[in-house]
């Protein structure tokens, strides 16, 4: 891991310890998500809610108004569920140091640390399934499912990926 990436992750970690959504942010979420999608959004960890809003704002400030893209920005990490800070740290470190060990340790979908690693590892597919069940558009589901993949010539996916990495 580069020093720049380590510094970014450190800022991200300490910022995650003091996350709060403002009233106007709740209004923004309500304006862009259906009630079922809002339930998904609010089932996420507050850190993931904040991150989703940050990704949303990056896209919106870039002039992007596509409803499916903006919904995917808000919901792209919904598949993680509730994950403790130390689980996130372990996931990031294992993914950087030994992806093979991470895949071996990540098992199940339970409340323990192994389940948290598994949810983090498979969050894109899991989030897409949750979004589909919540009635999200096919495009929103597709973007959530693929948001960790290389975008190639897919403009919408490239936008979501870039905003995700920038936040």
Structural domain of 54: 33-166
Q: CA 107, CA 117: separation in Å to the nearest integer?
A: 7
- For residue 81, is it left (φ>0), alpha (ψ between -120 and 50) or beta? left
Length of the chain, in residues: 167
| pLDDT value at residue 75 | 98
Instruction: Report yes or no on 22 lying in a domain.
Output: no
In sequence order, what are the residues at sequence separation of 6 or more whose Cβ sits closer than 8 angstroms to the Cβ of residue 102? 91, 94, 95, 117, 121
pLDDT surpassing 60 at residue 55: yes
Structure confidence at residue 77 as a pLDDT band (50, 70, 90): very high
Instruction: Report yes or no on 15 lying in a domain.
Output: no
Number of domains in the chain: 1
% of residues, the chain, pLDDT over 70: 89
Q: With beta carbons less than 8 A apart as the criterion, state whether 145 and 154 touch.
A: no
Instruction: Report yes or no on 115 lying in a domain.
Output: yes
Structure confidence at residue 20 as a pLDDT band (50, 70, 90): confident
Instruction: Report yes or no on 94 lying in a domain.
Output: yes
- Stated pTM of the model: 0.85
- Give me 116's structure tokens: 């948290």
- Give me 30's structure tokens: 């309500």
Q: With beta carbons less than 8 A apart as the criterion, state whether 74 and 52 touch.
A: yes
């Amino acid at each position: 891991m580069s020093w720049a990436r380590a510094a970014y992750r450190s800022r991200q970690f300490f910022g995650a310890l003091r996350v709060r959504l403002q009233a106007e942010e709740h209004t923004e979420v309500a304006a862009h998500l259906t009630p079922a999608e809002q339930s998904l959004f609010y089932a996420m960890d507050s850190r993931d809610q904040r991150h989703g809003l940050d990704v949303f704002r990056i896209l919106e400030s870039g002039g992007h108004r596509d409803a499916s893209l903006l919904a995917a920005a808000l919901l792209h990490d919904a598949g993680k569920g509730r994950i403790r800070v130390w689980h996130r740290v372990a996931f990031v470190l294992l993914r950087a140091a030994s992806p093979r060990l991470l895949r071996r340790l990540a098992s199940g979908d339970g409340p323990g640390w192994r389940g948290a690693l598994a949810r983090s590892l498979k969050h894109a597919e899991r989030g897409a399934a949750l979004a589909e069940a919540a009635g999200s558009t096919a495009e929103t589901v597709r973007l959530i499912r693929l948001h960790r993949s290389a975008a190639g010539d897919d403009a919408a996916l490239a936008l979501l990926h870039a905003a995700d990495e920038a936040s």
